[in-house]
Each structure stands twice: as structure tokens, then as C-alpha cells.
Amino acid sequence: MEDKLNKIAERFRELELEMSKPEVIADQSRFRVLTRERSQLAPIISAYEDYKRFRQELAESESLLTQEKDPEMREMLQAEVADLRHKIEDLDRKLLIMLLPKDPNSGKDVIMEIRAGTGGEEAALFAADLFRMYSRYADLKGWKMEYLSVSDTGLGGYKEIIVSIRSPEAYDHLKYESGGHRVQRVPTTEAGGRIHTSAVTVAVLAEAEEDEIDINPDDLRIDVYRSSGHGGQSVNTTDSAVRITHLPTGMVVTCQDEKSQLKNKTKALRVLRARLLEKANKERAEREAALRKSQVGSGDRSERIRTYNYPQSRLTDHRIGLTLYSLEKILEGELDPVIEALKKNEIEQELKKVDI
């Protein structure tokens, strides 16, 4: 492990040197990549410095203990040695976890897509509830959220809503949310008080940089049309809506929320890049026969991952068998107990196969 840590320390010094060069600072794309790598290595370097310092202090304290004759001083030194050994043991595990293989999308912003599934208007209303939950979670974390595309039902629900969430922490926290979310509750329109089951799908995509996914303009068919649904006068009376079709894959992205055709096109291309990045990542994983099966789920949006039972105020995450009876708090954005449990499970699974 120490050999790996020394190599990381050497790479950290190389990054700081390279980032100080004027030509690198002028190249914003290159500088952004280096900054992201440095931010990922910085916590490891800090922990490693503490680890080395504690080991040095332990060696000094143990040496003094072998020479000390005074009972009170020996007792104090023994307590100090025990404390340092405990700190070193904790740091040893912490560093081991830090050296686990990183998700290639770690540190990226995300594009989140929420779509109503089976259940009609009730599913659309639950899509709105999930969106509110993620919005509150983003607010609590201090993350920035931007609407990319909205298709509402007019009754408070969403057929589909796509947003961008910007934060270096966003992907690492939200990647577990991809999949099918099932709700069990009595709809407001149900006179007989019967519990209905509806479903919503969530997709969490790492947002790709413009230079990360190369899109050939010849591979795109771009259609413009008049926006529909809610919006200001100019939104509904000009050909500002944009539909982009990626011909090689058949992917279609639409955006009509901005008054400007150019802004809608820009947003649609961001969603398309994120979807193409997800497709490329999955294909690479399949080629390497490493679909992260040891981690929590596959991220497949068709997989049912969670059930929200309103009558019992119960949330169940089916991937790890987690059940919490605090649904109201979770829907208010207090998602950390769920996400931290998923993270812990992923780490434990990775530690079982670690070879450091």
C-alpha cells in the first residue's frame, strides 16, 4: 500500500507543477482536467501525511517507553502509544478505502432524468414528489440545479423532467438513484381508500465535457418546431423548440423551455452528450466483463431499486435490504441515511476483492 501512496504523492507534486505553468493555465480544458484529478488526490495526500506523522510519533513514544522508569510517566506514555496505534489503524483502513478503484465519473456534475412509468396521473404526481425530494437534497447540500427539459401534466405531475445538478459531489452521491422507484399509497382520487402501486424511472447520467464526447454534426438531425404547453407568449408562438436526433444511435432529445432556439439546442446537446457518455461507459464495461456487479445494482433504469410505502411511512431499498420508517423526512430531502448505507455496502464489497 505504501508504494502506491508514494506514487500518488509523486503524481500530486507533478500536478501542482504542471498547473503552475502559464500555457496550462491558458488551456482551460486541460486545466479543468488537472484540477479535477488534483482535487481527487488531495484528501489521500492529507491522510497519508497524517499517517506518516503518527507513525513517526509512535516510534518516538515507544522508544521513550523502553527507557522510562518513572511509573507515572510510563503510564502516560502507554496511553499515548495506545492512542497513536488506534489512530494509525483507523487511517490505515481509511487509506485502503481511498485507494479502491475510482468510478471514472467520480467528481462530475450530473444530468438527472425522472419519468413517470406505470400508474397514469398518480405516477406523474409521484415523479413530481421525487423531483421535489432531489431538489431539497440538492438545496441541503448547497448544489446548483438547472432545468433542462420539463413536460408536465397540468395537474401538478410530470411526465418527464430533466435537470442538471452541478457539484463535484453530485455524481458520487446520486449515482445510486438510477432505476425503478415504486410507490404504494392511496391516491387523492381514490374514493374507496385502496392502495395503488405506481412506478417512476430515474436515470442519473454523468455530464460529459464538450471535448469528452465528440459528436459529428453530420450525425445529427435537428428539427425546430413551436413549443407547446405552459410558457410565456414568445415560448408558444415561435419556432424555438428543438428536437435533436442522433442518427447512429437513434437517440432523440427535445428541449422547449427556453425562448431562444440556440439555448434549447445547447441544453439538448448537453443531455445528448451525457447519454452518449453513459452508452460508451456501459459498452466499455461490457467489453471488460466488469459491469460493477459487486457494487450496488447495475444502474440500469429498468431495475426496481426502491419502494416508498406511504401508509407505513416505510422506505425499502431492495438492493441492500435496507428498511427505514422515516419516509416523510426522506421525501423532504433527508436522503443521507439511504445514500450512506449504499456507499458503505459498495465499499465493503470492494474491500472483499482488494489486492493492494
What would the pLDDT profile of 164-197 be if each residue is shown by its tens digit? 999 989 999 999 999 999 999 998 767 677 889 9
Q: What is the pTM of this model?
A: 0.72
Tell me: pLDDT of 343 over 80. yes
Q: Which cell is 69 given?
A: 522508569
Give the count of alpha carbons within 13 A of 9, CB side only.
13
What tens digit of pLDDT does each residue of 218-240 get? 999 999 987 765 444 444 556 78
Give dist(CA 296, CA 176) in Å, integer: 7
What pLDDT shows up at residue 298? 40
Q: Which residues of 284-320 are buried (b: 16+ CB within 10 A; e: fewer)?
A: ebeeeeeeeeebbbbbebeeebbbbbbeeeebbbbbb
What length does the chain have? 356
Q: Write out the three cell numbers for 189.
A: 382520487
